[in-house]
Amino acid sequence: MEANIRRVESLIGLSFGDYMMVILRNGIDCLSEKGSKRRQAILPWVAAVWMIGVFAGFTAIWTHASTPGETGSATDPWPKGTPLVLDTQVPTMVVFIHPECPCARATLAHLASIIDRASVVVSIVSMTPPVDREPKSDLAGCRQQLETLATHPLVTRIDDIEDSITNRFGASTSGDCFLYSTNGNLMFRGGVTASRGHLGDNAGLQLVVDRINDPFKPYESFPVFGCPLTTQ
């Protein structure tokens, strides 16, 4: 029993489907030790329970991935009293990122794509995890991706230690993007991914690029798919 418990605990972090698959295999192995007739009688029930579990698991995963985060109220025009700088030559995009939000990796990848496709300067406002704990080791790749993007000449990164910038802009979800024209008008507010952690072209990404290339287009918004900025 203790060995089985340790084995299940070692599976934490696997997808729900993989977890249920291991349970099914373990159940079949156990039944095989007690005779093939009993196994054949119970196996359909085990398979049915497994299918229900897999369906429920993937439903929960899909619901989580496709549920947008809070966006709060838009700020228009450029808020006063912020340490960020509004560029007067090209549009300015302010992006709020929590370095321990796994969804942020897709947002950062799309930011790199936006910079390559349009003339824009980007200010990344990075949340600061609590100082009383170690950074999450499984998200080291996300932090590295953020640090790499911050070396781009058109990108500025600032750590929002006391959430003052976040509160000034009214951001509440990692991946929240604010696109401003050179005169400080808000042209776009929202996310640039189709769901949590989803890579690939989507309406939000295209709306940003369209407004950078044509600042006279009307204001647009798009849902933000990410983790809350204040609970990571």
Q: Where are the domains of the chain?
A: 2-66, 92-222
Q: What per-residue confidence (pLDDT) applies to 232?
A: 47
- Using a pLDDT cut of 90, give the percent of the chain over it: 38
CATH topology of domain 92-222: Glutaredoxin (3.40.30)
Q: How many helices (H) and strands (E) does the chain have?
A: 7, 6
Question: What contacts 95, CB < 8 A, 6 or more positions away?
Answer: 107, 111, 122, 123, 124, 125, 175, 176, 177, 178
91: left (phi over 0), alpha (psi -120 to 50) or beta: beta
Residue count of the chain: 232
Q: Mean pLDDT, the chain, as a whole number?
A: 76
- pLDDT tens digits, residue range 60-95? 444 444 455 566 656 678 998 899 999 999 999 999
Q: What per-residue confidence (pLDDT) applies to 43?
A: 61
pLDDT at 20 over 70: no
Q: What per-residue confidence (pLDDT) applies to 103?
A: 82
Identify the band that residue 230 occupies on the pLDDT scale cut at 50, 70 and 90. confident
Maximum average pLDDT range among 37-41, 86-90, 124-128, 195-199: 86-90
pLDDT at 231 over 70: no
**Maximum distance among all alpha carbons in the chain?**
78
Q: Which residue has better confidence, 210 or 29?
A: 210
